[in-house]
């Protein structure tokens, strides 16, 4: 039976591009090193934040390989978002060969609401049977045609020996609680939303895979550590700051995430590939300057 990822804070990293939209491997590695040095437990590469949908299979593997070869001690969870079973298996083969230790897999979602929970079970079981890597179930209705893998479905799938965890990227704490309660012991539940890290830790989640941690890793690492040590008041204070910061992620998505990371000194360009290649207007971005200063001052004092 495969082992799940260790508890902690994981960062879904952006993919760095140069001004001509070619991949900026140097920035990718420097950013990964920064996260590792600040206590991040591992990286999710080629997830939603990584714009995997805008890269070729060869490019996706090349980014994973570059980070793995430069920093082999870092645990890499690779995002996988194909619709056919064989294409999913082929993608997992590719990321494994590049250096990933796990794959976090979206459900096949092209047909949306017509897909039944039994079909989702069949999809993940078939993939897990054939996958060369342990897999995690990625539940993110916002990027998967509004498909929600229901808590009881996740619990059923948790019994498969090659399915070791889940990332829940939606804000229903009751669902997080049900998944923790009903899943097998060898199964790690991570929230994809840092704004609910403390509440979800309190019901048994193992940590978070959160995009804001790419800019302010210490904020989330210290929050997690305070909770683990029983320093709940300090954890609560940091959770309040995290909630403010997450407003930027929610409003601006990938470009906002990359703009924040760029402000921390990483990347030649913060724009994504087409169609995520347009900047946020200055007036709107500057309206969050107080929030950014709060994040910076909080982290500076940790």
Instruction: Please check whether residue 198 is in contact with residue 207, taking contact to mean a CB–CB distance below 8 angstroms.
Output: no
The set of long-range contacts for 59-63, using a CB threshold of 8 Å and a minimum separation of 24, is 59/23, 60/91, 60/94, 60/95, 61/94, 61/95, 61/97, 61/98, 62/23, 62/25, 62/98, 63/15, 63/23, 63/25, 63/28
Which of 63, 45, 70, 27 has the alpha carbon at shortest distance from 267? 27
Per the structure block, which two tokens stand in for 54? 């805008």
103: which residues sit within 8 A by CB, 6+ positions away?
A: 77, 78, 79, 80, 91, 92, 95, 96, 131, 133, 134, 135, 136
- CB atoms < 10 A from the CB of 299, how many? 18
Contacts 24+ apart (CB under 8 A), 198-203: 198/223, 198/227, 198/235, 198/236, 198/239, 199/173, 200/173, 200/176, 201/227, 202/227, 203/173, 203/176, 203/177
Catalytically active residues are: 138, 167
The reply, when asked if residue 49 is annotated as ligand binding, is yes
The burial of 300, by beta-carbon neighbours within 10 Å (0-12 exposed, 13-18 middle, 19 or more buried), is given as exposed
> Is 284 known to sit in a ligand binding site?
no
**Chain center to CA of 187:** 17
**Annotated binding residues for pyruvate:** 49, 209
**Annotated binding residues:** 49, 209
């Amino acid at each position: 039976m495969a082992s799940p990822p260790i508890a902690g804070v994981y960062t879904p990293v952006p993919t760095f591009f140069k001004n001509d939209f070619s991949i900026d491997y140097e920035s990718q590695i420097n950013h990964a090193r920064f996260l590792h040095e600040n206590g991040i437990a591992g990286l999710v590469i080629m997830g939603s934040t990584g714009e995997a949908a805008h890269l070729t299979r060869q490019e996706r593997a090349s980014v994973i390989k570059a980070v793995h070869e430069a920093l082999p001690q870092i645990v890499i969870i690779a995002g996988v978002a194909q619709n056919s079973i064989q294409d999913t298996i082929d993608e997992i083969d590719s990321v494994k060969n590049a250096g990933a230790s796990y794959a976090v897999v979206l459900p096949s979602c092209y047909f949306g609401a017509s897909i039944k929970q039994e079909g989702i079970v069949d999809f993940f079981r078939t993939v897990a049977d054939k996958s060369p890597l342990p897999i995690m179930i990625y539940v993110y209705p916002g990027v998967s045609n509004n498909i929600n893998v229901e808590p009881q479905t996740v619990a059923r799938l948790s019994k498969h020996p090659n399915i070791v965890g889940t990332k829940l990227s939606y804000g229903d704490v009751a669902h997080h609680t049900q998944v923790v309660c009903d899943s097998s012991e060898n199964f790690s539940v991570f929230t994809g939303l840092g704004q609910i890290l403390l509440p979800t830790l309190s019901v048994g989640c193992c940590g978070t895979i959160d995009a804001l941690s790419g800019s302010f890793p210490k904020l989330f690492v210290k929050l997690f550590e305070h909770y683990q040590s029983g320093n709940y008041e300090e954890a609560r204070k940091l959770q309040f700051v995290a909630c403010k910061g997450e407003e930027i992620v929610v409003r601006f998505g990938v470009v906002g995430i990359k703009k924040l990371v760029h402000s921390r000194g990483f990347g030649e360009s913060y724009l994504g590939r087409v169609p995520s290649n347009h900047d946020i207007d200055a007036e709107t971005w500057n309206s969050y300057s107080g929030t950014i200063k709060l994040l910076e001052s909080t982290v500076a004092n940790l």
